[in-house]
Amino acid sequence: MAKKTPGISETNDGRWRVDKTIAGTRLQGRFTTLKEAEYWLLNEVEKRRQAQYRRPDYPFEQAAAKYLLESEGKISLMTEATLLEAIMPFIGHMNLQQVHDDSLRPFIKARKQQGRKSKTVNASLGVVRHILNLAARKWRDSQGRTWLEAAPMISMLPLDDVRKPRPITWAEQRRLLPLLPAHLQRMVLFKLNSGVRDDVVCNLRWEWEIFLKELNCSVFIVPPRFVKGRKGWRPLVCNRVAQSLIEEQRGKHPEYVFTYQHGRDQKSHAMETMNNSGWQKARAAAGLQDVRVHDLRHTVGMRLREAGVAQVTISDILWHSRGTMTELYSVAQVREYLDALNLIADEGNRINANLEMLFREKAESLQSPFRRKTG
């Protein structure tokens, strides 16, 4: 006679009864045949075994909240929070395993209909991709299981709608600067003589300064968190115009180089961004609505090229290349940067004019409403 399965017994009416406790759960049932009872019990046991090892379902909004909490102190935290805020209505309620290219298409379509550039959309997609990678590789539950079995491949949009750089001419610079508030005028002029990003100008600190007597100039050693890609410390070398601005600001604030006075207290405060209402009003008044703050950086690159500076030096000044600490503290290297940047302190060293600038300057001299009247 075949051995009966534990937990299954025959009743007085010839039917079969299941009464078994598995991991604290009591399983009960009545069946016509022994085979049916055994099949049901085996199936129930297997379902509970699988449930014991199955990953919980984590909604994307929970993963996003975890990521933001772990990113406290990160300089790009507010930007990433804004990028996530735009995408949460589309995928926040979904479980992590439901987030993939297909489920992201409605978000992409909506953002493009709003006129967003592919680069902006990709920024949100990039944060999503990073969170999914963390869920699949780093974050684990109490059982040692990752939040996600494997991260899907999140496709980026092709950058076929990228806006071309729009450097400004010297005439446009002379037109724009007087229209800016005084504090912003100094920051723009500093950027036009250094080529650094606007967040570096806003956050420039006195503690980063090293003054080189040999060259009579200041060098600011900017920490990695203010360098795109965080590729290490980078030098900001001040040419004669930038140095004069530094000396003008010295002593105004104990921590920040560039500040502005806000409110009745007349206290100096650090700037959060150069792309503020003051900038936008001034560029509109100057007829330069298509010029962005970042275009001032493009302007520096173009002017260095026009002055005949070697491409490798231009890349170093704009922090496009990776430098070693030895290079950063080499006086010879700093002299190379200083000599190059002094060439763009005015337009007198323009030996290799940019064709686009020549066409724009000619068109402006004939058509611009800002053209100087003669006669």
The answer to whether the CB of 71 falls within 8 A of the CB of 84 is no
Q: Count of CB atoms within 10 A of residue 368's CB? A: 15
Place of tokens 């379509």: 109
| 53/173 Cα distance (integer angstroms) | 65
148 falls within a domain: no
Residues 187 and 114 in one domain: no
Terminal CA-to-CA distance of the chain, rounded, Å?
122
Same domain membership, residue 21 and residue 85: no
44 and 75 assigned to the same domain: no
Domain that holds residue 245: 170-367
Residue 28 falls within a domain, yes or no? Answer: yes
SS3 at position 30: strand
Q: Are 117 and 162 in contact (CB under 8 A)?
A: yes
Q: Tell me what pLDDT residue 357 has.
A: 77
By the 8 A CB rule, do 296 and 190 touch?
Answer: no
Is the confidence at residue 320, as pLDDT, over 90?
no
pTM over 0.75: no
Q: Are 272 and 177 in contact (CB under 8 A)?
A: no
Same-domain pairing of 215 and 338? yes
In this structure, the answer to whether residues 118 and 259 fall within a common structural domain is no
User: Where residue 314 sits, what CATH number does that domain have?
Assistant: 1.10.443
The number of folded domains in the chain is: 3
- Helix (H) or strand (E) run with residue 244 in it: helix 240-249
Q: Choose among 162, 198, 170: nearest CA to 299.
A: 170
**8 in Cβ contact with 17 (< 8 Å):** yes
Q: What is the pLDDT of residues 172-203, one digit of tens each?
A: 999 999 999 999 999 999 999 999 999 999 99
Give me the pLDDT at residue 2, please. 52
Query: Does 297 lie in the same domain as 259?
Result: yes
Give the whole-number percent of the chain exceeding pLDDT 90: 60
In a domain, 236, yes or no: yes
Mean pLDDT of 263-269: 71
Instruction: Dump the DSSP string for 141-190.
Output: -TTS-BSSSS---PPPPP-TTPPPP-PPPHHHHHHHGGGS-HHHHHHHHH
- What confidence score (pLDDT) does residue 51 get? 64
Residue 356 lies in a domain: yes
**How far is 246 from 217, CA to CA, in rounded Å?**
10
Tell whether 193 and 210 lie within a shared domain: yes
**Encoding tokens for residue 246?**
């530094």
Give the pLDDT mean for 210-226: 92
Q: Under a CB-based contact definition with an 8 Å cutoff, are residues 11 and 30 in contact?
A: yes
> Residues 93, 241: one domain?
no
pLDDT in tens, 21-69: 877 788 888 998 888 888 888 888 777 776 666 678 899 999 999 999 9
Question: Which residue is associated with the tokens 């890349």?
Answer: 315
49 lies in the same domain as 197? no
Instruction: State the angle between helix axes of 182-192 and 295-306 in degrees (0 to 180), rounded to the nearest 10.
Output: 40
User: Looking at 80-94, 202-216, 226-240, 326-340, which range is the least confident one?
Assistant: 326-340
Q: How many residues does the chain have?
A: 375
CA–CA dist 147, 138 (Å, integer):
8
In a domain, 108, yes or no: yes
Beta bridge partners of 91: none
Which 3 state secondary structure label does DSSP give 25?
strand
**What angle (nearest 5°) sits at the alpha carbon of residue 276, between those of residues 218 and 247?**
20
Mean pLDDT over 99-126 rounds to 95
Within a domain: 332: yes
Residue that is last in its domain, among 137, 161, 183 = 137
- pLDDT exceeds 60 at position 323: no
Q: Are residues 119 and 183 in the same domain?
A: no
- Residue 225's pLDDT is 81
What's the CA gap between 87 and 128, in Å, rounded? 9
Q: Examine residue 198 and state whether it is found in any structural domain, yes or no.
A: yes
Res 152 pLDDT > 90: yes
211 with 88, same domain?
A: no
Residue at 161 is within a domain: no
User: Residues 325, 229: one domain?
Assistant: yes
